[in-house]
Structure 1
Amino acid sequence: MEALSRSVLGQIVNIQILQEIQDHFSEATGLAAVIVDVEGNPITEPSNFTKFCTYIRSYPQGLSGCISCDDRAGRASRKNIDKQKPVVYLCHSGLTDLAAPIIVQDQYIGAFLAGQVILEKEDYDAKAEMFRCVSGLGMETEVLSEFFDVIEVVPEKRLKAAADLIYSMTNYIVEIGVSNISQKQLVKEVKAKAHLEATLRVTELKALQAQVNPHFLFNALNTIARLALLEGASRTQEVVYALSDLLRDNLQDIDVLRTLEEEVKSAKDYLLIQKVRFGDRIQSFIDIDPQILKIMIPALTLQPIIENAIIHGLEKKVDGGQIFVSGRIEGEQIIIIVTDTGVGVPMERIRSIFRAEKRTITHGQTTGLGIINVHKRIQHHFGPEYGLEIESKVGEGTSNYIRLPDCRA
């Protein structure tokens, strides 16, 4: 949960609930009331405001004085947090008000302001004090006197009891609100943890299912290749060796860097296997500038993109298509482009994939690596200015631009 000093009181407790508490308080005590946030701004509608105060606020200077007074009250109650007690004070018009700080986890988040009464005191002329306070504001004396005469005179003990009541009541309600928020966040975190654990269990199961001894696998493939040679099946031998090399590359640590030349070799092995499967439906062309073959790039960068082009671009076309892989130096960057003449993808779909920044599970991919995985691993190694960009037009095909730093020695 974010720091409460940044929280809005209305986000912790429903404003309507606060309004109802405030209205009931005013009805029960006869005191005017309003609740303000940490900046002193009202978040509820005023309750039971006196005609006297409404009249004072009808004048610009009077309203300005009331706002300043409310602000001072809020700051005064904020300074009183250590004592955790409300503040009783005399307003700029001579009436008595009180401010109860709203505190959560020792942090001030607002105040409950109430009052607009006359405090009962011996040998104290409240009306004379009022006229002294508002002198110079240009208000009608008779109106002021009429409205002031009906203001309730309240004993100090009753006023302090009301102050303690709103302090305890408001802070209790707010604490419940904070507790509810914490409980909701806890439930959300528990659900997220359960989902993560379930995902890990599925991943562990898949890992166990995939635990085939690599040496046994390569030895078996080499045996098949030698058998194909003895039987004169040279094409079968070529494909088996390509598959063996491809599997060996895919079983390596994905976090390592390797040369572009090695990546191109893996891509050629993959394309050879797909050529056997699709025949003349898919044609591939590779043209990489020899000067960049020794640069280091993340393992399994090219193959997933080529694989994606075949599965989602060319395989869906009855007459197939072509894949072009090129690489060149462009300024201080190296650009590798994988282009297909497939069915294409709407650009909004591509943008949504990058916004999601997570792999969409697809069927048929041998590596299981999505384009976002490739993009993120490039940025992880080289920085946010590099990575993968995709342009596509439905019905015409897709171009993948891999941007890398020129790190030639």
Structure 2
Amino acid sequence: MDYKGEPVTEKTDFSEFCKFVREDPNARKICMSSDAYGSIQAAVTKKTHIYICPCGLVEIAIPIVINGHYLGGFIGGQINCPDVPNDISIPSLKNVMKQDEKILRESSKLISKTNKISYKELISISELVSLIITQMAKNKMLKIKENKEIKENLETLKEKRKLTEIKYNLKEVQLKIIRSQLQSHFLYNCLNSISNMAIIEEAEKTNEIVVKFSEYLRLAFENKKTSIKMSEELQTVDDYLKIQKIRFGDKLDYKIILDDNLKNQKIPYYTIMPFVEDAVVYGIIPKVDKGTIEINVSGVKEDIIIVIKNNGIIISEEDKIVLNNYYKENKDYKFEIENVEKRFLEAFGKDYDIKREKGSNKETTITIKYPKTYKEEVFLNV
């Protein structure tokens, strides 16, 4: 029972007499009121309470008190105790909550079958039951407390583990940044030395390609943003194409067209380059005659349109692998292109899917479209 006298567990081991009485709805209410009385008395006094129920049987209400806190009570008994003291020390509910005389008459034979014990035995049993119930409750509370502490300790360990992983990852990132900076400084110094050597030896083309490559690397290494200015993105492309122009001479021509009012337009970093590299390596270089690449950037309403055209050949994926082996090329342009396409699709939606078309004049056209205004955050998780 709880502190209000309401039952919180199923009733068990009822005597045949009590079962018969409680079949009557009105009698059952009186019996439940009797149970509530015993439970409340035990809750208030925090002591075992013995009393006589409305049917004349002895009941015991044992409080469950742990560390001074009342947790509930145990109601038991239904005992026929002939020598129970007939004074105010043992309250009787027979005159307060009267049961129907007819029900009592009909059940008179059953009451004789209820357990009979002496008052002294009753006290001993109640003390033993009280001890057992209190100990069981203490064990249960201790178990609950231990489980709670174990759960809290596990949560603490999980948080500490997460914090340790974050710190470890942070150190890894810091180490990678330091290595990247060291590598970039080393490369700049090496390229500067090569450039100086080319000037001394009057190797103009070598010096030009080294300078352009240095500029290309500087933009690649120093950029830490998800988006850059259109002019910066195209400068990287221009440096790359100039290097290829020096390598292949008249075999490659290119043109970059950009409106002045779009120079400061932001663009997701490394958007154009993968398509240009793919066109040069797999379209222009294997081509027998001259190849051209044209990049046109324009604004149409609320969007930016980038059109990349080239008249290079189209080769299969198998032939690309052969070319990579021939030129000792380890870069995966297909992966980079797919990465750009995925980033645009996830950030801007299906309306901004990158399109590739092959014209009747054997010219390949790549069309990249994206909104003029967008939030930088859209590229942080893609």
TM-score by length of 1: 0.48
State yes or no: 1:41 paired with 2:7.
Answer: yes
Q: CA RMSD in A?
A: 5.0
Q: State how far apart, in whole Å, the 2-side matches of 1:104 and 1:279 are.
A: 81
- Asked whether the 8 Å contact 2:355–2:368 carries over to 1, the reply is no
Residue 115 to residue 243, structure 1, CA distance change in 2 (3 Å): same
What is aligned with 2:286? none
> Counterpart of 1:231 in 2: which secondary structure?
helix
State yes or no: 1:93 paired with 2:55.
Answer: yes
What do residues 257-291 of structure 1 show as CA deviations (whole Å, max 9, x unaligned)?
xxxxxxx85x633435655676699x99999979x
| 1:136 Cα deviation after fit | 6.4
| 1:61 Cα deviation after fit | 0.9
State yes or no: 1:246 paired with 2:200.
Answer: no
- Asked whether the 8 Å contact 1:284–1:323 carries over to 2, the reply is no
Q: State how far apart, in whole Å, the 2-side matches of 1:187 and 1:155 are.
A: 47
- The one-letter amino acid paired with 2:167 is E
Residue 102 to residue 57, structure 1, CA distance change in 2 (3 Å): same
State yes or no: 1:167 paired with 2:130.
Answer: yes
| 1:165 Cα deviation after fit | 1.7
What is aligned with 1:271? 271
> Counterpart of 2:71 in 1: which secondary structure?
strand
What is aligned with 2:139? 176
**Which of 17, 37, 40 is the aligned partner of 1:52?**
17
| 1:169 Cα deviation after fit | 0.8
Q: Pairwise mapping of residues 15-164 of structure 1 onto structure 2 (< 5 A)? A: 36-37=1-2, 40-47=6-13, 49-81=14-46, 85-119=47-81, 120-121=83-84, 137=100, 139-164=102-127
Q: How many residues align?
A: 263
Q: State how far apart, in whole Å, the 2-side matches of 1:285 and 1:64 are.
A: 87
- The one-letter amino acid paired with 2:69 is Q
Structure 1 residues not aligned, in runs of 5+: 1-35, 251-263, 291-305, 329-334, 340-366, 372-409
> Counterpart of 1:247 in 2: which secondary structure?
coil
Q: State how far apart, in whole Å, the 1-side matches of 2:141 and 2:21 are.
A: 37
What is aligned with 2:316? none
| 1:51 Cα deviation after fit | 2.5
What is aligned with 1:19? none
| 1:319 Cα deviation after fit | 8.4
- The one-letter amino acid paired with 1:147 is L
TM-score by length of 2: 0.51
Q: State how far apart, in whole Å, the 2-side matches of 1:134 and 1:186 are.
A: 47
> Counterpart of 2:139 in 1: which secondary structure?
helix
State yes or no: 1:187 paired with 2:130.
Answer: no
**Which of 198, 205, 208 is the aligned partner of 1:231?**
208
Residue 208 to residue 136, structure 1, CA distance change in 2 (3 Å): closer
| 1:158 Cα deviation after fit | 2.4
**Which of 145, 169, 187 is the aligned partner of 1:206?**
169
Q: State how far apart, in whole Å, the 1-side matches of 2:41 and 2:300 are.
A: 76
Residue 309 to residue 38, structure 1, CA distance change in 2 (3 Å): farther
| 1:221 Cα deviation after fit | 7.5
> Counterpart of 2:74 in 1: which secondary structure?
strand
What do residues 117-171 of structure 1 show as CA deviations (whole Å, max 9, x unaligned)?
24424668xxxx8986775625245323323334444433322222222222112
Q: State how far apart, in whole Å, the 2-side matches of 1:223 and 1:193 are.
A: 49
Structure 2 residues not aligned, in runs of 5+: 196-205, 228-264, 283-295, 304-338, 348-352, 357-365
Q: State how far apart, in whole Å, the 1-side matches of 2:376 and 2:169 are.
A: 33
Q: State how far apart, in whole Å, the 1-side matches of 2:71 and 2:181 are.
A: 65
> Counterpart of 1:139 in 2: which secondary structure?
helix
Residue 178 to residue 222, structure 1, CA distance change in 2 (3 Å): farther
- The one-letter amino acid paired with 1:271 is T
- The one-letter amino acid paired with 2:343 is I
What do residues 332-387 of structure 1 show as CA deviations (whole Å, max 9, x unaligned)?
xxx85999xxxxxxxxxxxxxxxxxxxxxxxxxxx9x647xxxxxxxxxxxxxxxx
Q: State how far apart, in whole Å, the 2-side matches of 1:194 and 1:173 are.
A: 31
- The one-letter amino acid paired with 2:371 is S
Q: State how far apart, in whole Å, the 2-side matches of 1:279 and 1:105 are.
A: 81
- Asked whether the 8 Å contact 1:69–1:92 carries over to 2, the reply is yes
| 1:109 Cα deviation after fit | 2.9
| 1:172 Cα deviation after fit | 1.2
Q: Pairwise mapping of residues 285-300 of structure 1 onto structure 2 (< 5 A)? A: none
Q: State how far apart, in whole Å, the 1-side matches of 2:275 and 2:143 are.
A: 61
- Asked whether the 8 Å contact 2:55–2:99 carries over to 1, the reply is no
